[in-house]
Amino acid sequence: MRAEVRRFTMAHPGDVSALAAAIDRGEVTAASIVAIIGKTEGNGGVNDFTRGYFTQSLMLMLSGYLGEPAESLKARLPCVLSGGTEGVLSPHYVVFMRAPDAGDARPPAGRFALAVGTAFSDPLPAEAVGRAAQVRSVAQAVQAAMRDAGLVSASEVQFVQVKCPCVTSERAADALARGASLRTSNPGRSMAYARAAGAFGVALALGERTESDLDESAMLEDFSVQSSRASISSGVEVVSNEVIVLGNSSAWSGPLLVSCHVMQDALDIAGVTLALEGAGIHPSPQVSGVDRARIRGVFVKCEPDRRGRIAGNRHTMLDDTDIDAQRHIRGALGGLVSGVIGDNRIFVSGGAEHQGPDGGGLLAVVAER
């Protein structure tokens, strides 16, 4: 197998014309698309509808090319969107494709290439959100996505993007009517628990942590429990845990690689550099134009430090009544990473509980060798 990754910009959240044009030009085969990760220009919160608008527009467009109903496409193609292009960030989406090898294209012995796998778990009942049941469900889906990608060892996995269902008012009412008890009935809080359970599930699947470390009581409490390769989002629009696994494998061909590194805090430019260096890119201080052209996607997960300080000094993100804390931190990390790379088409997502160090996060780069 051979992975291809392309990045497209959009004029607004309903604009999928750039991908359509690439399909029309024969540069992209619609049937080869397996996953999408993107940033739309909403606020990233509960009332951000740019994600739904983009997804509806994308699935409608692909439906036209593939002759498969939009609803069916939505149920088999993970489309993970983060709302909020604060600061310099540019709305864009990264399309992951897979194709059979072109005959002799397998990489020479000892060489690795980008591997992409996806999986959907069974639908998750509301009472499982933020509980061991969700941890196991995510872990199993991660392992299914690894099998889908032909990745045999956790050490081959660099980055796992998961989109988890959360509790909505309707699902809560339904669960309570069945006599089930919920970890929380607050939708916003359930999103945080779902992200925690997702991170725990990735840590379990990758062997970063054992099941005994991953007690429910550690969720949103003990932030030393973490995965260094998990990027989790949660939303009302999904019913299953949806997983995209990126790894490097000797079984895959093509020119692409993926590299991931943690960031210790929101100022950790060294962590950014280490992720790039894992892909053979050396910023000084910015990535050169030649290297920049090799980059196909950059994915950042970050979090406003909940202790209220960065590098010892007070920050004001958590106390701002007018701008949401996640909007603040996305803008800051977007500024830092875009500056290092010299490109503002960066996926930056907040809500990094248990995903990399507390107050920090992680960064993955997909690039040509």
CB nearer to its own copies: pick between 18 and 105 = 18
> Which of 171, 183, 209, 327 contacts its own copies by CB under 8 A?
327
Cis amide bond preceding 13, omega within 30 = no
Percent helix, percent strand, percent coil in the chain, to nearest 5: 35, 25, 40
The residue among 150 and 335 lying less far from its own copies, judged by its C-beta, is 335
3 binds its own copies (CB under 8 A): no
**Active site annotation includes 233:** yes
Helix (H) or strand (E) holding 297: strand 295-301
Of 39, 74, 163, 301, which residue is the catalytic one?
163
- Closest CB to its own copies among 18 and 133? 18
**Segment 168 to 227, residues that bind its own copies, using CB under 8 A:** 169
Determine the Cα–Cα distance for residues 322 and 327; give it in Å rounded to an integer: 10
Place of tokens 């291809």: 4
- Residue from 126, 336, 362, 366 that binds its own copies (CB under 8 A)? 336
Alpha-carbon gap, residue 323 to 315, rounded angstroms: 13
For its own copies, give the closer residue by CB, 83 or 201: 83
**Bridging pattern class, strands 230-235 and 157-165:** parallel
Selecting among 82, 190, 233, 234, the annotated active-site residue is 233
| 74 catalytically annotated | no
Q: Which residues contact 284 (CB under 8 A, 6 or more apart)?
A: none
Contacts with its own copies by CB under 8 A: the residue count is 69
Residue of the chain from 268, 291, 353, 358 that contacts its own copies (CB under 8 A): 268
Among 6, 53, 105, 174, binds its own copies (CB under 8 A): 53
**Is 345 a binder of its own copies (CB under 8 A)?**
yes
Q: Which region, judged by CB under 8 A, interacts with its own copies, from 154-162, 197-205, 267-275, 360-368?
A: 267-275
Among 42, 35, 33, 34, CA closest to 82: 42
Directed axis angle between helix 132-149 and helix 187-205, to 10°? 50
**Least gap, CB of 268 to its own copies (angstroms):** 7
Report the alpha-carbon distance of residue 78 to residue 369 in Å, rounded.
Answer: 26
Report the alpha-carbon distance of residue 192 to residue 24 in Å, rounded.
Answer: 40
Beta-bridge partners for 233: 163
- Closest CA relative to residue 166, chosen from 195, 140, 142, 137: 195
User: In the window 85-124, what residues touch its own copies (CB under 8 A)?
Assistant: 85-92
The correct pick among 17, 18, 31, 56 for binding its own copies (CB under 8 A) is 56
Quote the CA–CA distance of 298 and 363 in Å, as a whole number: 7
The yes or no reply on residue 255 touching its own copies (CB under 8 A) is no
Closest CA to 310 of 361, 364, 363: 361
Q: Binding of its own copies at residue 331 (CB under 8 A)? A: yes
147 in contact with its own copies (CB under 8 A): no
Footprint of its own copies on this chain (CB under 8 A)? 9, 11-14, 41-50, 52-53, 56-57, 60, 85-92, 169, 266-270, 272-273, 283, 285-286, 308, 310-311, 313-317, 319-324, 327-329, 331-336, 338-340, 342-345
The residues that are catalytic are 163, 233
